[in-house]
A and B are shown apart, each in its own frame.
Chain A
Amino acid sequence: MTEVNDALIGHLSELARLQFDEAQRQEIKKDLEGMIGFVDKLMELDTEGVEPLVYLTPNLNMFREDKVLAPLEIHEVLKNAPIHDGTFFKVPKVIKKNNS
């Protein structure tokens, strides 16, 4: 069974962009161990020769035709943005040019 340690929790919280205090970490550790244990239990089944089931419905190719419909109005688009100027979403600077 995968060991749920500080390194793993640290890695997962970085991927999720979330921060936890020590008490939360302990709780997460317990939850994750439960989840992983559940999956490990399932892994005990012999699935030799069984095709993996990825999708629960038999649907294939749920296409739409290449037609343009009206887009969202700009005020609707920006409504939930923490920072915007009426045209753009604004976010902290994400690139630093480093020529050195």
Chain B
Amino acid sequence: MAPDSFEIVVGLEVHAQLLTQSKLFSPESTAFGAAPNTQTSPITLGHPGTLPRLNRKAVELALKMGMACHCTPEPHSYFARKNYFYPDLPKGYQISQHRSPLCGPGWIRIAGEEGPREIRISRIHLEEDAGKSLHDQDPAFTCIDFNRAGIALIEIVTEPDLRSGKEAAAYLTELRRLVRWLGVCDGNMEEGSMRCDANISLRLKGAGDLGTKVEVKNMNSIRHVHKAIEAEARRQFAILEDGGLVCQETRSFDAGKGESFPMRVKETADDYRYFPDPDLAPLYCSPSWLEEIRSAMPELPEARTERYRASCGLSAYDARGLAEDRETGDYFDSVISLGADPKAIANWILGPVKSWLNEHPGSVLPLSASRLAELSGLVLGGTISFSAASARVLPELVRNPDKTPVQVAQSLNLIQDRDQDRIGVLVDQVLGEMKDKVLEYRKGKKGLIGLFLGEVMKKSGGNADPRLTREMLEKKLGGYPVGRSPKKN
């Protein structure tokens, strides 16, 4: 058997913590990083006589995500108890919509290995998070922190549509962009606010039935998901190649070793005894409520990318770069709304502005929209060069937000000289000093234009407008611009 006679089949279950202030059924804070067990209540701890009450915002965020994934919201859904005993589950059951999801089938488009692909979402539902077990704090005991218990989650489940670790990574990247774009979840896998379980199986190419699946958990970055799927596919292939059978089990990924180990072997089938939670009223999404949420939906990344490409004339690459996150896209929009040139602004944002942000992590955007529009206008008008504007004016403007780009350029002596008489003198001087090179140029060595330009720039102290200088040099040297000179036979 050859590895390429098999195909990898992957379905992902992603749990995303919703960006609500309080928990799904109780009013404690959801802030990350508080001291253990300081964000709990009798409801979270499952004390008798308590009554959970549903957080409206959580439902709205889940519906937003559903709409962004082209899912159909179910008008009627309810919460059920999923019964099992585990120390991080204080009530002995998890409240979930396992049997009655808030949102039905939909899809997310990803950049697949052979072009865009639509990955089917089977459902999106609401449920509460469990507490956190810490296994290495104490040699004799497992320590439990219930701060996380009861935090609102959505579970986003795909059909088994992914065919490689790389595709799974592309799906998660797109999903993370969406949750961040909508403000539904911060998408931080390292801190566990977005978690992913992968169901992985192999089958012979062309086979209809799915192979035995293995569930892999505990992958806390997109890169780990990618690696874990590849490692699990290799492990299963080795078993099948030996004539063995893959055992259905849950495994945990060890990122250090790059391999998974069995977490628990279930002796009996799961028996969660789901039943509707009598403490919670059923959920009804009226058409008017759904319409209210739909009409407040922001322009989504795909539509934004398409708009940048089609109506701003940007390349697909630049359009995608600007729509990478909503802040960047909104910034671009506010700059061009001031009448700035879209292509120039795209270059500014994806170039110097992005570099500045990378060098200053955690900072807000360095320039207001109007300052960037002014700065870009100065470059387009030839008043200052792009390199001077990005390397010197930009950092100075960040330090002095009250100054205008022109003031900064003046104080740094960066205003370009566009005086044809002054530049003409320098052009004549340079060409006079370099007669041999001028001859070579005229024989066809057009690349020498850079040398002449450099010399004139040097003599001008760097102030001559390079574009104007180049035009003047070309005119003087041949009577026609270099690029358009007639070809020699």
Contacts and interface: CB of A to CB of B under 8 A. Distances in A.
Contact of A87 (B37, B133, B271): B37
B342 interface: no
A66 B22 contact: yes
A57 to B, nearest CB: 7
B45 A88 contact: no
A99 interface: yes
A72 B44 CA distance: 10
Given A15-B273, A67-B21, A98-B262, A89 B37 contact: yes
B434 interface: no
A41 interface: no
A65 interface: yes
A72 B27 contact: no
Contacts of A85: 138, 143
B317 interface: no
Contacts of B109: none
Contacts of A93: 135, 140-142
Given A68-B27, A90-B138, A91-B87, A98 B276 contact: no
B283 A72 contact: no
B78 A54 contact: yes
B133 A95 contact: yes
A78 B140 CA distance: 19
A50 interface: no
Interface stretch (B48-56, B170-178, B187-195): B48-56
Given A88-B143, A95-B142, A62 B281 contact: yes
A77 B45 contact: yes
Contact of A71 (B39, B261, B283): B39
Interface residues of B, number: 52
Interface string B77-97: 010000101110000000000
B134 interface: yes
Contacts of B460: none
A47 interface: no
A88 B133 CA distance: 10
Interface string A50-80: 0000110101111111111101101001100
A13 to B, nearest CB: 13
A94 interface: yes
B253 to A, nearest CB: 13
Most B-side CB within 10 Å, residue of A17, A61, A66, A94:
A66
B55 A66 contact: yes
A39 interface: no
B36 to A, nearest CB: 5
A14 B21 CA distance: 38
B37 A74 contact: yes
A67 B27 contact: yes
A62 to B, nearest CB: 4
A52 to B, nearest CB: 10
A93 to B, nearest CB: 5
A67 B53 CA distance: 12
23 contacts: A55-B276, A60-B281, A61-B281, A61-B284, A62-B54, A63-B54, A63-B55, A64-B53, A66-B55, A66-B56, A68-B22, A68-B27, A68-B29, A71-B38, A71-B41, A72-B41, A78-B37, A85-B138, A88-B36, A89-B144, A91-B87, A93-B140, A95-B135
Interface of A: 11, 14-15, 17, 54-55, 57, 59-69, 71-72, 74, 77-78, 83, 85, 87-95, 97-99
